[in-house]
Amino acid sequence: MKTVIMAGGKGTRIASINADVPKPMIEICGKPILEYQIECLKKQNLTDIILVIGHLGNVIEEYFKNGERHGVQIVYIREEYPLGTAGALYHLKGVITEDFLLINGDILFDVDFTLFLEAHRKNHSMATIFTHPNSHPYDSGIIVADREGGVTGWLTKEDEKKWYKNRVNAGLHLLSAKLLDQFEEPEKRDLDRDILKPLIAEHQLYVYDSPEYVKDMGTPDRYYSVEGDIKSGLVEKRNLSVKQKAVFLDRDGTINKYVGFLKDIDHFELIDGVAQAVRMINRSGYLAIVITNQPVIARGEVSWEELEEIHNKMETLLGNSGAYIDDIFCCPHHPDQGFAGERKEYKKVCECRKPKPGLLLQAAQKYNIDMGNSWMVGDSMGDMEAGRRAGCKVVYLGDEKAEGELTAPNLLEGIKLILAL
């Protein structure tokens, strides 16, 4: 499979770091951004690379040449004048005849492309966008998708947003070569507006959600943040081919104030200190994963759409404070019958309802998690039992110390306890 890297950007916002080279050639920890990208591709045998260059493109050509020194094969497409984020794809007609990987040249990543490709092929779509949560969704484009991953909406930075899932376009795309047929001449085109968004109405655009490491270096602050992540080893540790570790979080009474069965989104309120606690998890290298029983689905008191909106509120509030949840696993079942309006398909004894460990084991399989190095944190003995049965260490949240358990008064203190061990 061919990989196309769009490496023609000027990098105006990050010019204070180095204005004398194109943005993908800005060095971080002694190596250009573009070299990190090529190394990640080479490790996964993605060695057939096309570099689209423009501003100061000669710097890129002189450094990488034909790619032989880096163990890859590189050919170049030079933009004689700016063609936007997609116009240069015109030059790929006839060169690319099958699905290809399209990458923004200003992002640092370490992801398992095998999983990305499997998801793309499963959906038989024209395009799949690699999406992830980030620490600044409020100034990012948000991708809206259904439960199968089909894109249903695309909110720009400028669009008014109330509650939303923290799902951001990471700048990695898998595209069908058929999309190149629409290019009749080399003209300025925008990838998002002109190529991807029209696919929504045709049900031909999907997302692939992943917590793996992808960050853009659009500003000096983000550049220095990525530099710290490289030095700490976080970048390569988040590739899903490597064993992960997670902090599993109960929801009600752990993240939000306990109000019994939460049915009304207006009653959802974060507990003080939770955003700081989740932010600490994000920065530590642990995945932050919510594990929650929601029998309100089985009881017919809340629809899936209403539950998702409650979770969107949770993600929005956390995102406003620079924190994010990597995934949410929810049990909708309840064994007892006799409630007015109950949904009989969810009225059953299942393996995912805590204190059974089913949800944690699902997460472990999906994200290659080492459960022995992971934690379950919650405010009930059911949380503790689920965590232990899944092979995790546990922290109980409560005002009184629970016998035989690591105990903390709230999530923030619980995370401090975990990270101090």
pLDDT tens by residue, 103-139? 999 999 999 999 999 999 999 999 999 999 999 999 8
Average pLDDT over residues 232-241: 95
Q: Are 76 and 29 in contact (CB under 8 A)?
A: no
| pLDDT (mean) for 279-284 | 96
pLDDT digits (tens, 9 = 90+) for 31-71: 999 999 999 999 999 999 999 999 889 999 999 999 999 99
pLDDT over 80 (residue 12)? no
Using pLDDT thresholds of 50, 70 and 90, give the confidence band for residue 339. Answer: confident
Q: What's the sign of the alpha-carbon dihedral 40, 43, 45, 48?
A: positive
- Has this prediction a pTM greater than 0.85? yes
Cα angle vertex 175, ends 171, 177, to 5°? 145
Q: How far apart are CA 146 and CA 154, in angstroms?
A: 12
Domain segments of the chain: what residues?
A: 2-223, 243-420
Q: What CATH number should be reported for the domain whose range is 2-223?
A: 3.90.550.10
Length of the chain in terms of residues written: 421
Which CATH number applies to 243-420?
A: 3.40.50.1000
161, amino acid identity = K
Residues with a catalytic annotation lie at 250, 252
Q: CA 275, CA 279: separation in Å to the nearest integer?
A: 6
Question: Same CATH fold, 243-420 and 2-223?
Answer: no
